[in-house]
Structures are given as C-alpha cells and as structure tokens.
C-alpha cells in the first residue's frame, strides 16, 4: 500500500518535485527523439551464420630442383671396337628438343579481389554505449545498412538514453552513401549532424574517386587514395578485406580530415554481450604513445560484421565502448 505524506508541507514538497521532473522530461525528450524514417524497414531477422576460422594463405608449392645430367664415362677396359663406336656416336649431331616457353604466372595485381564474406542487403545493428570499459551505459547506437542495385546507404543514430539523457543531451546522425562492387563499399559522400545542448553542428565530405580527391564542406581538399573509406563505411568494409595478412591498411576520413590506419589482426576471442557469447576476431589500431587507439571486434558467426568497438584515449585508458545488443539481417 502506497502511503502519501500527511502534512501539508510534505505534500507541497512532493508536488514541486514531481513538477520539476515532468518539466525536465518535457524539455529533454524532444532532443533525444529518434528521427522518423520515411521508408519502412525491410523484414529483418536475427540470423546466426557459422563461418570457418580464417586460415592463412597456403604456401606456394616448392619447385623441384633441376637434375644435372652427366655423360657417362667410357669404361677403361672397353675394347677398341667399342671405343670406335662411342667416338662415332659423339661425332653425330645432337638434335635438341624444341624449347618450351616458360610458364607465365598471373601477377597478383591482375587477379580480381573478391570479398571475403558477402554483405547482407539489409542489416540493423544496435549497440549499447558505455562510459569507459564496462562502465555505466550512457546511450545507444543504431546502424542501418541498405544495399540496392549496386548502391548502398549506411545511417547511424547515436544518442544518450536513460538518466544520462537528462543531464546531457546528445544526438548524432551520420550517413554514408556510395557504390558496391566486387571489392566492397566505395563511398561517394559522408555527412553528419550533431545536436548538443548548445546547438547543432554539421559537416560533410565528397569522395571523388575518378579525380582522386576528397572535398570537405569547410572548403579544404586532399588527395584520395584508392578505396578510401569514411568513419562509417570502414566498419563494414573490414569484412571485405583479406584478414589473413596480419595487418589491414586503410585510409579513413571523419569528414574533417583523412587519416591512415593500420589495424593488426589478433587471435579469435570470445566476447560477452547482451545477446550472449560471440566468437570474434579482434583488430587493433597500431598507434604510438600519446595517440588515440581503436579496437574493433568482428563477429565470426555474423558475416564478420562489427559487434564491439572500443576507443582508447591518449592516456592509454578506455574512453568508451559499444557492445552489440541486437543483430538483424536480411538478403531479400
């Protein structure tokens, strides 16, 4: 049985407290509301797809060493007739066999690269965002990927949730658009809009693959290497890279600049998540002292999609991490 305060002073204090709480909710709720999508989501289902462990490249076959042939010597005790027969054979012209052209090997750069694992046509990944390593949950991030007719759209919405949204409102919408080919994702544009308590911030970048230029909304530009990625697309492009070479090099833009990443591939790990234990392949950004780091885990049973992301601060400590809480995919 709920007991209400009996005194007038206590009842007035309770009413004021409830009024302040409702006003706080009314003020902050519009800031953290998810943007409404015009097109409905395709039918997505949670799907577990066992994949074999990534095996190293097979060693090239060893070529047999050429055998050196020697002309047998004539025995010392050979008769004069045998010696004359041997000399006659030596004087006969020897016909060499027709020389065969050496086997031509296809250069590695001419072999078309194929994706390691196919990307789903539609995917929605939901992550729980935590402060530090295993700290308090601060928010949620929802990644949605749609691939249609050789084009892709990747959108992410990150926002504070729960009690954290009352003290600090944060809403970040990121969008990556581009093409899909046999080598994976090729961004054409990247944009983001950030809503804070102090106001809005936005930026964008255009990828000119033909002209090898990356143009920023602030007016600058830089050279764009082959297969350059943005901060969203690279998380999905990792599954299209050869992960058996030890290190994955990538050029990644956050919309403000272009950076070179080297991600070291580690040994298989077992990740604990809200959806259970998941076999994962870790990749860790190689960085020096005083530089920011990044750790990414790819789900070995979920088409190598990202299932955990950890940011390392300049002090070497975990600044924050995201852990998968729901995986929905569809190929229809």
The closest of 135, 166, 164 to 319, measured between CA atoms, is 135
What's the CA gap between 315 and 332, in Å, rounded?
Answer: 45
Query: Over its length of 332 residues, how does the chain's per-residue pLDDT go in tens digits?
Result: 444 445 555 444 434 343 333 333 333 333 233 333 334 444 555 454 544 444 443 444 454 554 554 444 444 444 555 555 555 455 544 444 444 444 444 444 444 445 557 899 999 999 999 987 777 888 999 999 999 999 999 999 999 887 766 677 789 999 999 999 999 999 999 999 998 877 889 999 999 999 999 999 988 999 999 999 999 999 999 999 989 889 999 999 999 999 999 999 999 999 999 989 999 999 999 998 889 999 999 999 999 999 999 999 999 999 999 999 999 999 98
Query: CB–CB of 260/251 below 8 Å?
Result: yes
- Residue ranges of alpha helices (H) inside the chain are 8-28, 80-91, 163-167, 233-237
The dihedral through the CA atoms of 49, 50, 56, 60 has a sign that is: negative
What's the CA gap between 178 and 229, in Å, rounded?
Answer: 10
In the block, residue with structure tokens 């047999």: 64
Q: How far is CA 97 from the centre of its chain?
A: 55
Element counts in the chain: helices (H) and strands (E):
4, 16
**Which residues contact residue 255 at a Cβ distance below 8 angstroms, ignoring those fewer than 6 apart?**
190, 191, 192, 203, 204, 205, 216, 217, 230, 231
Going along the chain from its start, the domains and CATH numbers come out as: 112-330 (2.50.20)
What's the CA gap between 39 and 41, in Å, rounded?
Answer: 7
pTM of the model: 0.67
Hey, how many other C-beta atoms are within 10 angstroms of the C-beta on 27?
11
Structure tokens given for 44: 């997505």
DSSP E strands in 149-246: the ranges are 151-160, 170-181, 184-196, 199-208, 213-216, 221-223, 229-230
Which pairs from 162-166 meet CB under 8 Å and 24+ separation? 162/137, 164/136, 164/137, 164/138, 164/139, 165/28, 165/31, 165/32, 165/139, 166/24, 166/25, 166/28
């Amino acid at each position: 049985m709920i007991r209400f305060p009996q005194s007038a002073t206590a009842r007035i204090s309770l009413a004021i407290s409830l009024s302040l709480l409702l006003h706080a909710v009314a003020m902050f709720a519009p800031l953290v509301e998810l943007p409404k999508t015009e097109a409905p989501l395709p039918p997505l289902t949670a799907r577990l797809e066992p994949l074999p462990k990534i095996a190293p490249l097979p060693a090239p076959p060893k070529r047999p060493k050429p055998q050196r042939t020697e002309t047998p010597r004539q025995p010392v005790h050979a008769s004069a007739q045998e010696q004359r027969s041997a000399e006659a054979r030596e004087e006969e012209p020897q016909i060499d066999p027709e020389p065969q052209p050496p086997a031509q090997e296809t250069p590695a750069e001419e072999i078309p690269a194929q994706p390691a694992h196919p990307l789903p046509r539609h995917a929605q990944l939901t992550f729980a965002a935590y402060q530090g390593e295993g700290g308090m949950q601060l928010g949620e991030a929802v990644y949605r990927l749609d691939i249609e007719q050789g084009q892709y759209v990747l959108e992410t919405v990150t926002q504070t949730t729960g009690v954290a949204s009352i003290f600090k409102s944060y809403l970040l919408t990121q969008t990556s658009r581009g093409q899909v080919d046999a080598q994976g994702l090729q961004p054409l544009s990247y944009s983001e809009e950030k809503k804070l308590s102090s106001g809005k911030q936005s930026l964008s970048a255009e990828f000119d693959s033909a002209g090898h230029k990356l143009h920023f909304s602030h007016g600058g530009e830089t050279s764009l290497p082959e297969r350059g990625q943005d901060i969203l697309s690279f998380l999905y492009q990792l599954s299209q890279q050869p992960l058996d070479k030890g290190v994955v090099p990538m050029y990644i833009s956050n919309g403000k600049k272009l950076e070179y990443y080297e991600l070291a591939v580690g040994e298989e790990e077992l990740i604990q998540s809200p959806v259970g234990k998941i076999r994962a392949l870790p990749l860790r950004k190689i960085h020096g002292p005083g530089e920011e780091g990044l750790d990414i885990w790819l789900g070995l049973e979920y088409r190598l999609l990202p299932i955990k992301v950890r940011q390392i601060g300049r002090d070497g400590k975990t600044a924050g991490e995201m852990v998968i809480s729901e995986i929905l995919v569809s190929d229809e």
